[in-house]
Structure 1
Amino acid sequence: MSSPPKQPGSFDNPPNYVFPHHCLTRTLRDSRKTPVVLVACGSFSPVTYLHLRMFEMAKDYVRQNTDFEIVGGYLSPVSDMYKKPGLLNAHHRVDMCSLATEESSNWLMVDSWEAFQAYQRTAVVLDHFDYEINTVLGGVQTSDGEHRNVRVMLLAGSDLIATMSEPGVWSPVDLEHILGRYGTFIVERAGASMDQATDNLARWRHNIYLISQLIQNDVSSTKVRLFLRRGLSVRYLLPTPVVDYIEQHGLYLDDAVGMGPSPEKGKEKESSGSTPKKEIYLGNSVAGAAEETS
């Protein structure tokens, strides 16, 4: 069974936290459709055009193949407590994501709730979005004024499905909560096969939507950081404001600079011994997952 969602008021918010909803569509265009919000969890160190492109691919897929209507999208950068090579501190990562979305999108937002506190399991992060959108904001409405709850769904690369299908990596309770209660859109990534993984997750197949990548793009944050350390240009791999921000602050000249504090013992685990790597959610390939690809 799926674990119950957090109760109203039970979420611990970072200081001065305000849930962003300025780009959230509050009235459905088509009352026959189910409102959906996409949530992408990852390191975003730094955010690339591929991270943003995945939202657009999902939007096209939803419009052409489902009865959903997307009313908003969110990037949720991981906490500093999820320490890993190349993980710049949360303030820089949130700032870069904000610059990227403000420059390029009228429907994507950055939520800092996960970034500015202790490590949070993905299931809890999705509960947080569900609470803020449906309990606090009251969901959305149709043109006739009918109230509708918004369905929160995880957006990820196919690396995620590969880890979810591996025994012992994710807790069964969290898998049921994420895939059973919420569901996910999985974007195909080079080097990560989706077929075998989805076979192992057959019980949730109705909640897993697979999106083929029609134009292959293997840009990863790992490659971008490597370019920066070698003094190579990364323009047109990242949004221009993000490139300017990196140059202004002298970031990624050394991967050890600007990293967050070490995680508390056990915080890097999902629960019940599961240890998924959040950085691979928007990743490049299973082979590169251990290094970091988002």
Structure 2
Amino acid sequence: MHLRLFELARDHLEDTGQYKVVSGIISPVGDGYKKKGLIEASHRLEMARLATENSDWITLGSWESMQPDWVETVEVIRHHHEKLLEKQQNCDETDTVKLTKKRRIENRYEASSHQKRRDGPQVMLLCGADVLESFGVPNLWKQDDIDEIVGRYGLVCITRSGNDPHKFIHKSDVLWKHRRNIHLVHEWVTNDISATHMRRALRRGQSVRYLLPDAVVSYIQQNNLYSAESEQKNADVVLAPLQRYLEASSS
């Protein structure tokens, strides 16, 4: 269902008439996050690759997963934004060369060969309402990071019936300040599939076919993933952001 969020977000953004969505990046968290039941990044990367191999616009971002320590979300967004800017710069330089060569042949272009695109690429964080509400959990996020994520980049939040993101935004000063950068998208065709439900079914030996792509189901079965043992991984470990920010606040 994470992939489904991308489709909902693209429809909404393009329907505003203000955006053309060119790419969606799914970025699995690294092992250093220490979430309970989090299996190895190598497996999660491969499953994400299999799940997106038939998409013509959703891609796999492996940078976050490959880092030895947990990387804050704002750093991941910065990384992908910088990569997009580099890509645009390379395209602009290529276009400039082509334009210059064409001018020498035809000599009839009015635009400057050094003219840049007026609007550069923009990155937004895509999430569900649960992530939006997690901004209020003490020591889970830095306020400066929230300010940068929402204020500089923007946020697309997929909501369902029963969620009240407007109320949460109203209660948060930092989110209210940047409310115009938050796109709330209501999911009318609801589906209660979640990673928790999938892991529970798998460790009980129940079928998850038609809930996950066949290639992902086959990979899980071949590698014996999501067992009672894997669910207890990191059970006694403090989540990386809580550990980092608690240490910072106490020092």
Q: Which interval holds the TM-score relative to the shorter structure?
A: 0.7 to 0.9
Offset at 1:269?
Answer: 3.9
Residues 124 and 235 of structure 1: CA distance in aligned 2, closer, same or farther (over 3 Å): same
**Which amino acid is the alignment partner of residue 134 of structure 1?**
L
Could you tell me which residue of structure 2 aligns to residue 155 of structure 1? 126
Could you tell me which residue of structure 2 aligns to residue 29 of structure 1? none
Question: Deviation digits for residues 40-66 of structure 1, max 9, x if unmatched?
Answer: xxxxxxxxxx11110000111112124
Could you tell me which residue of structure 2 aligns to residue 44 of structure 1? none
Q: Does 1:102 align with 2:73?
A: no
Could you tell me which residue of structure 1 aligns to residue 104 of structure 2? none
CA contact (8 A) 2:37 2:235 kept: no
Offset at 1:258?
Answer: 10
Residues 63 and 203 of structure 1: CA distance in aligned 2, closer, same or farther (over 3 Å): same
Task: Please give the alpha-carbon distance, in whole angstroms, between the structure 1 residues aligned to 2:91 and 2:41.
Answer: 30
Offset at 1:266?
Answer: 8.1
Could you tell me which residue of structure 2 aligns to residue 238 of structure 1? 212
Question: Deviation digits for residues 23-54 of structure 1, max 9, x if unmatched?
Answer: xxxxxxxxxxxxxxxxxxxxxxxxxxx11110
Q: Does 1:222 align with 2:196?
A: yes
Offset at 1:190?
Answer: 5.4
State TM-score, norm by structure 2: 0.79
90-99 or 161-170, larger mean C-alpha shift: 161-170
Greater strand content: 1
CA contact (8 A) 1:76 1:115 kept: yes
Residues 165 and 274 of structure 1: CA distance in aligned 2, closer, same or farther (over 3 Å): farther
**Which amino acid is the alignment partner of residue 182 of structure 1?**
Y
Indicate the percent of aligned positions where both proteins have the same amino acid: 35
Residues 122 and 270 of structure 1: CA distance in aligned 2, closer, same or farther (over 3 Å): farther
CA contact (8 A) 1:159 1:189 kept: no
Could you tell me which residue of structure 2 aligns to residue 268 of structure 1? 241
Aligned match of 1:186 in 157, 173, 186? 157
Residues 63 and 136 of structure 1: CA distance in aligned 2, closer, same or farther (over 3 Å): closer
Superposed counterparts of 1:1-294, under 5 Å: 50-103=1-54, 105-117=55-67, 118-135=69-86, 137-138=88-89, 146-147=116-117, 148-166=119-137, 169-189=140-160, 191-199=162-170, 200=172, 201-256=175-230, 267-269=240-242, 272-273=245-246
Question: Deviation digits for residues 212-270 of structure 1, max 9, x if unmatched?
Answer: 0011111001100111111111011111110111111111123427958997x884349
Q: SS in structure 2 opposite 1:227?
A: helix
Higher Cα radius of gyration? 2
State TM-score, norm by structure 1: 0.68
